[in-house]
Amino acid sequence: MEYQGSCLCKGVQFKINGDFESFYLCHCSYCRKDTGSAHAANLL
């Protein structure tokens, strides 16, 4: 399976080939600090 996506301005685009097992949306202090955002999106 192939997944595609981009940011809204299309400045960054990505393509993922294969299946993934899980998706995590985390809002712990480590993830907030690492991303500089309110949460981190992790695709494994």
Q: What confidence tens digit (pLDDT) does each residue in 12-39 have?
A: 999 989 988 898 999 999 999 999 999 9
What residue has token string 């998706």?
23
pLDDT value at residue 44: 83
Domains held by the chain: number = 1
pLDDT value at residue 20: 84
By residue range, what is the domain housing residue 27? Answer: 2-43
How far apart (Å, rounded) are the C-alpha atoms in residues 10 and 4?
A: 12
* pTM for this entry: 0.50
Looking at this protein, which amino acid is placed at residue 1? Answer: M
pLDDT value at residue 30: 92
Residues 3-14 have pLDDT tens digits of: 999 999 999 999
Angle (CA) 2-26-42 rounded to 5° is 20
Looking at this protein, which amino acid is placed at residue 24? Answer: Y
